Amino acid sequence: MALISALVSKLLADEFKAWSPWITQHLIRYSISRLPKRQRARYEEEWASHINEVPGDVGKLITAAGFLFAAHRMAGTDGKRAKVRNIAKRMFDVIASAISLVFLVPLLLVIGLAIRLTSASPVIVTEKRVGREGREFKMCFFGGAGRLRELLERYDLVHLPQLLNVLRGDMSLVGPRAVRPNSGDK
């Protein structure tokens, strides 16, 4: 069973690596085509140079999808398009967070085990946050203390459990940061 799992995982990783640049380029081209004509040349050059600076295939793909949402906002949308955009954004959030969680399961398990072995704090802790339309939810973080917590924060691994919030619909991968209740933090 482990061999089959490893083979399927390798196959999915290879397929993703093969298709990711193509999908990224098409997302950028489509995003540019949605912009007003007078802005296309400027943003085509700017976005192409920006995408080259983003590390990793997943990062490039997420950034390209962000360009698509930015282009829709810049072009101005009516109510029907906004509804379609919200559905598309939610679909992207669900698919991207689910795929990310599948690929990150081994890392998440190692971090969880390290937290359990090195501290008395829970593996996942939550904080109240205010999301879209003033709705409160509990944002997930890795727990831990001491050097392990510092290491997780330095490499932003402490935020990986927020993929669960994205999957549940509390947050989005692309968008404004959720704020603490009764504060102006963003």
List pLDDT tens digits, range 36-83.
788 788 888 888 787 878 787 878 878 888 887 777 777 765 566 677
pLDDT reported for residue 186: 47
CA angle 38–54–35, rounded 5-degree value: 15
From 31-45, 69-83, 98-112, 122-136, the region with the lowest mean pLDDT: 69-83
Hey, what amino acid is at 178? A
Give the per-residue pLDDT at 138. Answer: 95
Q: Are 62 and 175 in contact (CB under 8 A)?
A: no
Give me the half-sphere count of Cα atoms (radius 13 Å) on the Cβ side of residue 40: 10
Phi/psi of residue 136, nearest 5 degrees: -85, 145
Q: What does the pLDDT look like over 140-179, one tens digit per residue?
A: 999 988 899 999 999 989 999 999 999 998 988 887 778 8
pLDDT reading at 9 higher than 80: no
- Please give the DSSP secondary-structure letter assigned to residue 169: T
Report field, pTM of the whole predicted structure over 0.95 = no
What average pLDDT score do residues 129-140 get? 87
pLDDT at residue 161 in the model: 95
